[in-house]
Amino acid sequence: MSDVINVARAELFKLVRRPAAWTLLAASAVLSQVFGYLIPYLSYAGGDSGPMEGASKEAILASTLPDQLVSNTLGGFPVFAGALALVFGALVFGGEYGWGTVKTVLTQRPGRAASMAGQFLALASAVAVGVVILFALGSVSSTAIAVAQDRSIDFPSFVDLTAGYGAGLAIMLMWASLGALLGVVLRGVALPIGLGVVWVLGVENLVTGVSSSVLTALRPLRDVLPGVNAGSLASAVMPTRPPGIDAPPGVSSYVSDGRALVTVACYVAVCLVAAMLTYRRRDVV
């Protein structure tokens, strides 16, 4: 166990000094703030520009207030922030192949299993901190809007916040685990990122759209896709949206909340086991 902790500490020491890790966090934060708060608020404050998406101006403002913190933070996790988490996982696990340092890592005493477990622990810790930061930024933005518009500052209850954070952590960890698996299997970073992003932003949306309209036979396949289950899990913990405000892209209720949670957890476990078996059973060069 000490080897796993030591590897995790070394990975975290490396991650906090990698510009790419901070860039991905900054991109997630910018997307969350722009689409969750800035655009709706500008639409509300735009005078005679008209309501956004057919919603009343009061509903638009209500969607940016503190009681919608969980919705605005989790809104991008199933798709856009999830794609960035996948990239992060590929960087953590596939970067050593790109740098040619895999053999060097394995000569430092910890075995392959301990090395992989330590990397995953570092990945999970970084994702957990990232989700906290996104929630914190959302609370600051929503509070600022509430104060500026002289509205009440009513945050979700502790139970709702905990459920939202847990769901967000599970979703982001699932995407990061998928990126990690691709990084190990494909022994690099560029190809896993390319394939992963195409899957998240393209293939899943295509399968979901087709199965919901012209080819209903694909619905069983749709219901086990990672993005669909991530969106269903996010939808389950989100509060009721103001009238006329649609759910963010990718947030749906195609499967029940219990099934979504189990499926997301299974993706994390399967990715970790598959990555570890692959790492242990083949040559590293």
Question: 203-258: per-residue pLDDT in tens?
Answer: 888 888 787 777 777 888 888 899 999 999 999 998 888 887 888 888 888 888 89
Per-residue pLDDT band for 283 (boundaries 50, 70, 90) equals: low
Poorest-pLDDT segment among 37-41, 47-51, 92-96: 47-51
Question: CA-CA distance, 81 to 87, in Å (whole number)?
Answer: 10
Which tens digits make up the pLDDT trace of 19-44? Answer: 999 999 999 999 999 999 998 998 88
User: Which of 109 and 63 is assigned the larger pLDDT?
Assistant: 63
Each domain of the chain, given as residue ranges in start order, spans: 2-281
**Given this model, what pLDDT does residue 52 score?**
54
Q: What is the largest CA-CA distance in the chain?
A: 67
Residues of the chain with pLDDT > 70: what percent? 93
User: Which of 110 and 9 is assigned the larger pLDDT?
Assistant: 9
**Cβ distance 141 to 37 under 8 Å?**
yes
User: What integer best gives the mean pLDDT of the chain?
Assistant: 87
Measure Cα distances from 256 to 139, 142, 216, 229 in Å. Answer: 28, 29, 18, 9
Question: CA-CA distance, 32 to 115, in Å (whole number)?
Answer: 33
User: The whole model's pTM is what?
Assistant: 0.90
Per-residue pLDDT band for 285 (boundaries 50, 70, 90) equals: low
Per-residue pLDDT band for 47 (boundaries 50, 70, 90) equals: low
Q: Which of 13, 3, 14 is nearest to 112 (CA)?
A: 3
Question: CA-CA distance, 237 to 167, in Å (whole number)?
Answer: 7
Per-residue pLDDT band for 135 (boundaries 50, 70, 90) equals: very high
Question: CA-CA distance, 163 to 58, in Å (whole number)?
Answer: 27
Average pLDDT over residues 165-186: 94
